[in-house]
Amino acid sequence: MKFITSREVRNNPSQFRQAVEREDVVLTVDGRPFAVAMGIGEDEIEDALDMLRRLRALRAMSRMQRKAEERGVSGMPPEEIDQEIREVRKRRRPA
């Protein structure tokens, strides 16, 4: 895995393209990572996007589980969870 700054990408895009063809690249701004780039072929776009969507869903699930544990509600029975969801949805409905 290689780290490349956004400035390097702007100043030398061909270097970035070559790096992505060889390995996964972490893009940084002000020394902090903000994106990951990986090389794919034209026939792999949909598969890659599908995997990214699944990864985002798994990350969201992990965050929700961690928050539930922190709040002490990770052992709630399904009925209580459903009731909580109904109450939140009621509050979100426009008047």
Give the phi and the psi of residue 6 in degrees, each rounded to 5.
-65, -30
* pLDDT classification of 74: cutoffs 50, 70, 90: confident
Q: Is 32 helix (H, G, I), strand (E, B) or coil?
A: strand
* pLDDT classification of 95: cutoffs 50, 70, 90: low
The pLDDT, as a whole number, for residue 17 is 94
Q: What is the CATH number of domain 1-39?
A: 3.40.1620.10
Judge whether 19 and 25 are in contact, CB under 8 Å: yes
The β-bridge partners of 25 are 2, 37
**2-30 mean pLDDT:** 95
The pLDDT, as a whole number, for residue 75 is 84
How far is CA 81 from each of CA 40, 48, 75, 77, 89, rounded to the nearest angstrom?
A: 40, 33, 10, 7, 12
**6-15 mean pLDDT:** 95
Total-model pTM = 0.64
Segment 28-71, tens digit of pLDDT: 999 999 999 999 999 999 999 999 999 999 999 999 999 988 98
